Chain A
């Protein structure tokens, strides 16, 4: 008896405190609305997350009180804007445990970060016949920039296959890595399947061959604690809008030594120290990669979003999301003809599925009519669809503000779709 109590106590100590979801929901004004007369059930968080009031307020406050260009004005507003912008950089640095804030480059989003690395890091190093490794589960934004690069350089794209659970086949990865591999690019978490990839091991294997690794962290940072020094990744990319921040802003982390050796991605203001028509001297890191006026308000609000997430704690968020995923998977067993796509042992709160006899698009329309927002389609991961032999899937993706009751609505909506369409 007393031992049982002890172990419960021990377990309680390890488990992060449960989220007060109702209180959190109240901070997201968009969640209060109705869609088609029904309460909005927003389950498309892998596409983009909703924004808490604190993030919305910071955007308004920036334009209402601070708006000014950064790094170039002597006046008070410019100093404030510069201060807040650089403070956001420091927040990002701490959030992903980077060694230095010089390693944090603000970009438009994951897509731009990957293109930057492809063009500035990889392109000058690639010779015809070299190879680039990606995986079968990548988002198009971690496929197409590398295909473009292959066209430009004659390099070869190699693809790590996945198994039918949606996990990378690491043995195949080891076989693909060779003398001519110049870079490995892998998603931390798959947006179509939810698979959490063993990126630390993947990086270690690549480094044994002296090959650097870019991690597409678009779906990583919202769900997992990321420590780029512990991972020892060379580049890590993510988007603000999937992390409760604004659209149009994202981050490229790069190891300082690599960034230093790379030519600028774009030319313009802010990325230079001195310009003459004979020679231009580039600015120091990270400014060398931030040509032109950036999304200042967005960067500052991303810092606020990071404060928000850190305040709740990623462990508590992950525990809550896993509870929702387990609950949904369990409820789904009641629905005949439902097949989960993506059953990796390690996964985030992505519930991707197909239904016998019902096209995901029809399901999406029926659910939308019930106020339930999910994503249907190929999720910018057409090779994943091909692997599973489906044109599209329906995907519900959960975030910290979702509840079991909302999953009940999802399940009821799926049952309704069966009634209407079968």
Chain B
């Protein structure tokens, strides 16, 4: 039997209720929008990039607790990281949420490990990864909104 508090750990509830790095980034060099039509979750990622480094990252939007907490934790975790580091973290995060036989490198994930419970809820994986897909599109400088569907 699944314990629901493995999914909604305190840290996730906290980041949902008081999201960090929430709100527009005025001097953003990249902006991307993400949309999950299934849930109606929408978010915007603002990036300030400086020669391959994430100087600042913020987000705005609305969605379920998983998507808001994931975006909040992501922005906290990525401050000051390089683009390559961000890619590595996303890959490991994706592994954590979706792969049965591959171990994610927990060392690079830090607090993001709190979202590991999502793995037991496959329909919610998209909620947790929406912010990451949106981040990637911001990093790639794409203009169109990403959609999980």
Contacts and interface: CB of A to CB of B under 8 A. Distances in A.
Interface of A: 36-37, 357-362, 365-366, 369, 377-378, 385, 391-392, 416, 420-422
Contacts of A369: 2, 4
Given A359-B63, A392-B39, A365 B124 contact: yes
B63 to A, nearest CB: 7
Given A377-B38, A421-B16, A421-B65, A361 B127 contact: yes
A325 B40 CA distance: 27
A361 B39 contact: yes
Given A359-B63, A359-B65, A362-B66, A420 B40 contact: no
Given A36-B1, A359-B65, A365-B124, A377 B8 contact: no
Contacts, number: 51
Query: Which 3 pairs across A and B sit closest by C-beta, in order of nearness?
Result: A391-B40, A359-B64, A361-B64
A81 to B, nearest CB: 39
Interface of B: 1-2, 4-5, 7-8, 13, 16-17, 38-42, 62-66, 121, 124, 127
Contacts of A416: 4
A384 to B, nearest CB: 12
B64 A362 contact: yes
Contacts of B121: 365
Nearest to B68: A359
A362 B8 contact: yes
A338 to B, nearest CB: 17
B62 A420 contact: no
Nearest to B4: A369
A358 B65 CA distance: 8
A377 B40 CA distance: 7
A385 B40 CA distance: 10
Contacts of A358: 65
B65 A362 contact: yes
Nearest to B63: A359
Contacts of A377: 38-40
A378 B124 CA distance: 16
A391 B39 contact: yes
Nearest to A369: B4
Contacts of A362: 8, 64-66
A420 B17 CA distance: 12
A9 B61 CA distance: 59
B101 to A, nearest CB: 24
B4 to A, nearest CB: 5
Contacts of B64: 359-362
Given A359-B63, A359-B65, A420 B39 contact: no
Contacts of A421: 8, 13, 16, 65
A416 B8 CA distance: 12
A37 B38 CA distance: 27
B58 to A, nearest CB: 21
A392 B7 CA distance: 21
A420 B4 contact: yes
B65 to A, nearest CB: 5
